[in-house]
Amino acid sequence: MKITEFISRIKFYLVRIGISQQSNPNNIGVSDIIGIVLVLLIIGGTVSTILFWGVPYMQDQKAFVSQENALLQFDAMGDLIEDAFAEGVFFYGDEVVNSSKTMTFKFSGGNLDLNNQGERFVIWYSFFDNFNFTVSDLEPDGNDKEITINIIDGSAQYIDVNYLYDDSLEDDENKDIGENTSHPLHDAVQINVTDGSTMFGRIWIFDTGSLTFRSTGPSKTYNAVVENGGVLATGDRTSGYFFNEPKFWSQTLLDNSSLLSLRIIQIKKDTGEGVDTIGGTSTSDVKFWIRPYFGIMRETKKPIFNSLKMKIYGDNDAVSAWRYFYENRLGFLGDEVNETLIWVPPTGASNVLFTLSHAVCYISMEV
């Protein structure tokens, strides 16, 4: 019997009792009947409340526990990724083999998604003290992006667009800044700002890729994310926070000079291996294969001037967590969510040396 039908029937009996009271001047047995009906009414209301509020709450809590379980396992995966990169390559007979790691991920209810987009990190800086510039319009929406470059100080007429490891895209050299600069910018791209002979500045675009576990309750969604060497928790419960921060981060060393180091790890689905998504309500064991593809120094103690700037695009919760990390751990400036993050050299620093480490890690998953 439905709750609404149950309550309607109780109301009907209460009306009958009212009529019975009027026709029974001695009220024989009426008090007992009223007591029973009131107890039933209270029970019905309690059951209705539990069904309306309690069950969704318990389901949301189950989704939250699933997220916590995923975060713990992703924490272990982050360690495996670091170990695999540390081992690098080795020789198997005459064959050079990349190191690899495996692990089993257990979950009950939820979805695992492996995608090559993740958050987009855009980094840019100048090579001369009298040259300063900003870039915009590089969010990942759309296939082609029209780069907007604003020269603050100095002059430069061209950009050279170089795709780091996508052979299907052609590099574009000496493209006029003021003309149509639309390009299919994705994965990893290096853009040099030049006058045709001298390089004045550089722009990097990295789509970090991510592995996401998503557990959904009636009113809330909880995510656990592996991205760029860190493990994040995002979803309706929080604006995003690091469960485990990246193990390699920017640092500044003061001795009349300053050293700034950044690391970008791109997660990519292993081509031809495994699946993009796995989900369901039953308990599942998923096997992950982790295979570092390469690690390379894109910049090695390169002198830079003015300030280094960075913009992060993507999921609002993830971007919020990354911004908090760079601002509070690494000293970047920029309070507003959509503002450019700026790293300003320490006062008195005679020069700034910038190092950029870039790595690609392939992951496959299968039941």
Rg (CA), the chain: 30
pLDDT for 250-303, tens place per residue?
555 545 567 888 889 999 988 777 788 888 766 778 888 888 887 788 999 898
CA distance 210 to 340: 22
Read off the pLDDT of each residue in 93-120 and give the average, rounded to a whole number: 81
pLDDT for 45-80, tens place per residue?
665 555 454 556 566 667 777 888 889 999 988 888
Q: Is the pLDDT of residue 124 over 90?
A: yes
C-alpha closest to that of 44 among 73, 14, 1, 77? 1
Backbone angles phi, psi at 322, to 5 degrees: -65, -40
Q: Which residue has the higher pLDDT, 275 or 97?
A: 275
Read off the pLDDT of each residue in 99-109 and give the average, rounded to a whole number: 84
Residue 240: which region, alpha, beta or left (left: phi > 0; alpha: psi -120 to 50)?
A: left
Strand partners, 201: 126, 193
Q: Is 220 helix (H, G, I), strand (E, B) or coil?
A: coil
Q: Which residue has the higher pLDDT, 169 or 255?
A: 169
Backbone angles phi, psi at 229, to 5 degrees: 85, 0
What is the distance of C-alpha 311 from the center of its chain?
14
Q: Which residue has the higher pLDDT, 127 or 181?
A: 127
Of 131-145, 154-168, 305-319, 324-338, where does the model show the most confidence?
Answer: 305-319
Q: What is the domain partition of the chain in residue ranges?
A: 3-58, 59-119+208-366, 120-204
Record the tokens describing residue 253, joined without a space: 């060393």
What is the distance of C-alpha 89 from the center of its chain?
29
pLDDT for 39-50, tens place per residue?
666 666 665 555
Q: Is the pLDDT of residue 310 over 90?
A: yes
Q: Which residue has the higher pLDDT, 109 or 340?
A: 340
Owner of token pair 């690609």: 360
Enter the DSSP assignment of 128: S
CA distance 288 to 27: 75
Read off the pLDDT of each residue in 24-40 and give the average, rounded to a whole number: 60
Whole-number pLDDT of residue 217? 74
Q: Is the pLDDT of residue 119 over 90?
A: yes
Read off the pLDDT of each residue in 174-181 and give the average, rounded to a whole number: 70
Q: Can you give the pTM of this predicted structure?
A: 0.80
Q: Is the pLDDT of residue 186 over 70?
A: yes
C-alpha closest to that of 324 among 236, 246, 258? 246
Number of H helices, E strands in the chain: 4, 20
Position 147, amino acid: I
